[in-house]
Structure 1
């Protein structure tokens, strides 16, 4: 049984989007502009040593929280503005709305944001910092806080040239400059979030000491940590393993014996270890724990990437197709998590990150089994969070959209082109985009960020 990530997320190479390359320069750019064709931008993706933001950062908001966020940005050596300078190109705008109590209070800061939109540089970032709406809130408070959701998701659809809009949500009692909130802000500002658009991350606890995690090693945030990645031989799984290793982790790459050669090559490349394993067997969790304990003495990070598709319309779905997808995509994770949570080797601020799918959010024709399994993953993540909290652990999910892999390259040309353009960034993502989100969740800086499902889909036009 294959446990390598399948469907739209399997493949050994990143596929090129020739159209995006063509319309990004010279004759192709001029032609697309004259004909009114989509002009997706070449996205600013993270490279070691690259600046956090390319250009000044404008911080909007009149609260003490806005001042505190500006101070953290200054600590990160950013060029901070508290008031816009006419015609100055901005690398980012951060709008701090942590004291909203009525929808009327949205008008001034959001209109000020609107006045700055035309001054955004290519691949700029807009990030809001606001509070979650609670059932127990007064109606006007809940209305104001939820209004931010509509603003961010709508603005994300309006921005062009690779710019994105996302939001950080503060749970009750969390300060705007809490370490967890600032870690989420830093992720959204950076090139690591290139294919994340119109999304929110909730900071549910303070995380590390307040002040934005100044002591964090942002270049090697996973230094000394031990991670396991399932379905690691190719595609997104291989990208995850490489990214975690780049960030300092010791990586155990897991895949089925049939993928053994590719798995060994990857493990050698990243100076990790390979474990050939069918994750559907009852002892899979114990096997992973034994491997980690023998080689590294512990396990810190689990990435559940392995998954399969067996597509059929529900009317034609047989038991084998349904059961195999559920066995790999959700039952194996539940069983392995039980083993991990019971182990003394998985105790030091552990992290669990699962790869879900936008199919589990919006559904997809012919994928009732796959969508059910991925929606189940999201439910599992939310309910597992309290079980990890006592040990300082977190659990989150990443839901990819259309990602450029060998498998998506085999989709008929017209269908593939439509799928690529059906998001606000008008292009497909890369395996590394998914890997960057997972690496963020795995980091110590994200200690207060748990029970989130983050879409990495360029703001696909279906679902949230």
Structure 2
């Protein structure tokens, strides 16, 4: 992973003065999660008066947070949760929006702003839908205005969902915490009351068994380590050529290693057999394995196109069907069923020059998880995707320096993400506390400014 010397310089006293004087980006040191950390330190201000606001305040108080309705003009604020669930027209947003705006200059570094509102697609009232879509636009724009490592995200609730539902709490905790350091301008949709909150928030995946493909290095290795940290037993999967590195990762997480090419027809059966032999169950599947074979479409050949499609999407479609047909994974009697997360990409959302094959495969992942959510719901399970932006890995370290520097600064946080940022989001989505969210693609990109 290449060293980001500019960000280090910008966080020195002299560097801050120089970058500010020259009008250069000022990337902040982000607040990231470490075991034992509090959810957030400092006052959390609730904006908006409603039953939902009261229920959310009660949940935050349960976590021993400093919850306020008002703060003094010179007090520093750690987070603002603005609840707009009762908004019925754009005209009645003003009071809460201006109250929120008045707090922004008091935000601490790495502060959080979370908007909470009902799903725009769940009302046929033009004024109500306009208000809700307006909150989406407000949230995305506010994320561009955040400073000093702060983020702004939204929590979208089903029309009839009780705000006290476990998955609402799970989403709030994730967005408030250091786990969401590189997530900004994004929305988590909670559609059901499914989910359970852990007795121990430091180990939300205790007694769960997870398989991670492409686990030998980079983002895959970070996912394996993060799931293990959160209590899961991990099966690390990668191709035989990565066997030595795979074994090292498996040993680091006290897990087991399985060498298998996921494009093989029997890959899923081999994973299931390994899980049954070593653990007697399988709860979580993370499809991380992927390849790039970049070329302009005018110069694309069948080998480059077919290999990317085979690894990045066709293998997942085939494996998911086998997993869901297996009682080992798809236990219909379980209150929290199987969970699948696939790695998409911002290239699959906005496209990227020279990556028609890769973008097609990653857009395919997004389509797959959206369509498969009903299959998983029938089994009390979930399927979601995570779309990373520019993440500091061995691959990005090989980019030309100028290209890498530009890519780092093209987001609201003015820096690249880390593999653990992707892993934290995946760990949240596979947790029982996120069981009310399915079919979602969440970007982990620092609100990348290019494309969508």
Residue pair 2:57, 2:67 contacting (<8 A) in 1 also: yes
Aligned-pair CA distance for 1:134: 1.6
Query: CA separation in 2, counterparts of 1:392 and 1:295?
Result: 24
Q: Which residue does the alignment assign to 2:292?
A: 309
Residue pair 2:90, 2:127 contacting (<8 A) in 1 also: yes
Q: 2:206 aligns with which of 210, 223, 227?
A: 223
Deviation >2 Å, runs of 4+: none
Q: Which residue does the alignment assign to 2:219?
A: 236
User: CA-to-partner distance for each residue in 1:14-66, whole Å, 9 max, x for gaps?
Assistant: 43211101110122122112222111000000000111112110011111110
Q: Which residue does the alignment assign to 1:6?
A: none
Aligned-pair CA distance for 1:381: 0.2
Pair 1:423 & 2:406 matched: no
Aligned-pair CA distance for 1:172: 2.1
Query: CA separation in 2, counterparts of 1:177 and 1:127?
Result: 16
| TM alignment of 1:431-450, pairs within 5 A | 431-450=419-438
Q: Which residue does the alignment assign to 1:280?
A: 263
Q: Which residue does the alignment assign to 2:445?
A: 457
Residue pair 1:98, 1:176 contacting (<8 A) in 2 also: no
Aligned length: 447
Q: 1:258 aligns with which of 241, 244, 254?
A: 241
Q: Which residue does the alignment assign to 1:150?
A: 137
Q: Which residue does the alignment assign to 1:7?
A: none
Pair 1:75 & 2:62 matched: yes
Query: CA separation in 2, counterparts of 1:218 and 1:308?
Result: 34
User: CA-to-partner distance for each residue in 1:193-217, whole Å, 9 max, x for gaps?
Assistant: 00000000000101236xxx3x542
Q: Which residue does the alignment assign to 2:120?
A: 133
Aligned-pair CA distance for 1:350: 0.8
Q: Which residue does the alignment assign to 2:85?
A: 98
Q: Which residue does the alignment assign to 1:393?
A: 381
Residue pair 2:369, 2:384 contacting (<8 A) in 1 also: yes
Residue pair 1:233, 1:262 contacting (<8 A) in 2 also: yes
Query: CA separation in 2, counterparts of 1:188 and 1:417?
Result: 27
Residue pair 2:122, 2:159 contacting (<8 A) in 1 also: no
Aligned-pair CA distance for 1:165: 0.1
User: CA-to-partner distance for each residue in 1:386-408, whole Å, 9 max, x for gaps?
Assistant: 10112210000000000001111
User: CA-to-partner distance for each residue in 1:148-204, whole Å, 9 max, x for gaps?
Assistant: 110000000011100000000001211223211121111110000000000000001
Pair 1:16 & 2:14 matched: no
Q: 2:34 aligns with which of 37, 47, 59?
A: 47
User: CA-to-partner distance for each residue in 1:293-352, whole Å, 9 max, x for gaps?
Assistant: 111001000000000000000000001100000000000000000000000001241100
Query: CA separation in 2, counterparts of 1:336 and 1:172?
Result: 34
Q: Which has the higher contact order (CA 8 A, sep 6+)?
A: 1
Residue pair 1:353, 1:398 contacting (<8 A) in 2 also: yes
Pair 1:185 & 2:172 matched: yes
Q: RMSD in angstroms over aligned alpha carbons?
A: 1.0
Query: CA separation in 1, counterparts of 2:161 and 2:226?
Result: 30
SS in structure 2 opposite 1:237? helix
Residue pair 2:122, 2:158 contacting (<8 A) in 1 also: no
Q: 1:205 aligns with which of 180, 189, 192?
A: 192
Structure 1 gaps, min length 5: 1-13
Aligned-pair CA distance for 1:356: 0.3
Residue pair 1:216, 1:445 contacting (<8 A) in 2 also: no
Residue pair 2:44, 2:68 contacting (<8 A) in 1 also: yes
Residue pair 2:290, 2:312 contacting (<8 A) in 1 also: yes
Aligned-pair CA distance for 1:135: 6.2
Q: TM-score, normalised by structure 1?
A: 0.95
Name whichever of 417-426 and 169-178 sits farther off. 169-178
Q: TM-score, normalised by structure 2?
A: 0.97
| TM alignment of 1:402-417, pairs within 5 A | 402-417=390-405
Aligned-pair CA distance for 1:136: 4.6
Change (3 A) 1:74 1:326: same
